Amino acid sequence: MKNLLIISAHADDNISCAGTIFKLQAERGFVAYEVVLTNSQLGQSYKTLAEVSPKLVAQVRSKELVKAQRFLGIKKSFVFNQPDLGLTCSQELMFEVVKVIREVQPEVLFLLNPYDAHPDHKQAFQIGIEATKVAAMGVLRETLGKSFRVPMVLCAEGMLPIKTQILVDTTKYFMKKEKLFKIYSSQASPKALGFERSLATIRGYHLRRSEGKFAEAFTLQEEFPVLFFENEKKNFS
């Protein structure tokens, strides 16, 4: 069985790689897991003009997350409820993510991009990449589980376009991705939905394939090189 793991800062961050997740599940037999680091309480509803309490926002987004993860096919979710817009790459939190990586043993790990505009996304990347390194080390076995080296780490494109190194054709799954985004109804404004479709269309154009209309973009991390040709059964593509 092949596992994948998403490390998100907030509920709805899995939208950035959802098309690829659907594809890996349907075409490669992957099982999906997700870490959500914050309580998402400051991501207020675009429908609400007046300020609403962070507690209420957290409750709404938690319900959306449960429903969306069910639709996305997440087998198990790890939610750490760190403060929204206060996420910090602490040793304690990083070790908790190490435990998850060693438990799930993902063939592919999806991180947020370090160049994204949101400060929590940058911190989530830092937590994820440091945890990935420590998970591969032969240390802290008794408390954090058996060491595991993730073969492939991909950083998803966020609100800022990236200089991509990997494109995944998600044409077959784009409508399903849009349906997933709409489950996050407090966040899925017409403008946000339009942005996702526009970016996917641009990336689809970059495929240079007549049948490829939509795609998702990813970057690799130089500090954590991909393992190719070690075992053909573990290859992503």
Dump pLDDT digits (tens) for 174-214.
999 999 999 999 999 999 999 999 999 999 999 998 888 99
**What was the pLDDT predicted at 236?**
42
Sheet-wide strand order for 30-38? 74-82, 30-38, 2-8, 108-112, 152-156, 215-219, 166-169
**What was the pLDDT predicted at 53?**
87
pTM above 0.85, yes or no: yes
**What was the pLDDT predicted at 50?**
65
What are the C-alpha distances in Å from 233 to residues 99, 179, 236? Answer: 24, 31, 8
- CATH entry, 2-229, from 3.40.640.10, 3.40.50.10320, 3.30.420.40, 3.40.50.2000: 3.40.50.10320
Asked whether residue 237 carries a pLDDT value surpassing 60, the answer given is: no
The amino acid present at 181, given as its one-letter code, is F
**What was the pLDDT predicted at 225?**
81
Asked whether residue 140 carries a pLDDT value surpassing 90, the answer given is: no
**pLDDT 10s digits, 12-61:** 999 999 999 999 999 999 999 999 999 999 987 877 766 688 898 999 99
| CA–CA distance, 5 with 124 (Å, rounded to integer) | 13
**What was the pLDDT predicted at 213?**
93
**What was the pLDDT predicted at 231?**
60
**What was the pLDDT predicted at 47?**
78
**pLDDT 10s digits, 50-100:** 668 889 899 999 999 999 999 999 999 999 999 999 999 999 999 999 999
**What was the pLDDT predicted at 234?**
46
**pLDDT 10s digits, 115-136:** 998 999 999 999 999 999 999 9
Q: Write down the domain spans for the chain.
A: 2-229
Average pLDDT over residues 214-228: 87
pLDDT band of 167, cuts 50, 70, 90: very high
**pLDDT 10s digits, 100-109:** 999 999 999 9
Query: Ranked by mean pLDDT, which of 6-10, 55-59, 138-142, 163-167 comes out on top?
Result: 6-10
The amino acid present at 154, given as its one-letter code, is L
Supply the DSSP string of the chain, one letter for each residue: -EEEEEEESSTTGGGGGHHHHHHHHHHH-EEEEEEEEE--TT---TT--S---HHHHHHHHHHHHHHHHHHHTEEEEEEEEEPTT-----HHHHHHHHHHHHHH--SEEEEE-TT-SSHHHHHHHHHHHHHHHHHHSS-SHHHH-S----SEEEEE--SS----SEEEE-GGGHHHHHHHHHHSTTT--HHHHHHHHHHHHHHHHHTT-TT---EEEEE--TTS----SS-GGG---
